[in-house]
Amino acid sequence: QKEVEQNSGPLSVPEGAIASLNCTYSDRGSQSFFWYRQYSGKSPELIMFIYSNGDKEDGRFTAQLNKASQYVSLLIRDSQPSDSATYLCAVNQAGTALIFGKGTTLSVSS
């Protein structure tokens, strides 16, 4: 069974620190990798996607992908209290539904 694993947290970091969120996946055929942010009571919001090994940066966010280790991570630099949310990792192969992890809850304290 295809699985995506995330540490449920909560991950607590002080304001201004780097938050590191990790995700592993079981299907070696996975091709696309996504990070979504979900605030309590709201639907998920796409933050980034990555499909090549290495790093991809977008503002304060950096996604890292290592297909050999079946590992994808999200770094949030200069964390803000507004970043406090649940972060969902999702993977898929082309044309198939996303498989979501259960999410990691991030808490940024001011």
Residues that bind other proteins (CB under 8 A): 32, 34, 36, 41-46, 49, 51, 88, 90, 92, 94-95, 97-98, 100-103
Give the DSSP per-residue string, 43-76.
Answer: --EEEEEE-SSEEEEETTEEEEEETTTTEEEEEE
Would you say 76 or 88 has its CB closer to other proteins?
A: 88
Would you say 43 or 110 has its CB closer to other proteins?
A: 43
Residue 82 near residue 63, CB atoms below 8 Å: no
Q: How far is the CB of 13 from other proteins (least distance, A)?
A: 21
Q: How far is the CB of 80 from other proteins (least distance, A)?
A: 22
Name every residue whose Cβ is closer than 8 Å to that of residue 9 and which is 6 or more positions away in sequence.
104, 105, 106, 107
Q: How far is the CB of 16 from other proteins (least distance, A)?
A: 28
Would you say 17 or 22 has its CB closer to other proteins?
A: 22
DSSP secondary structure code for residue 17 in this structure: S
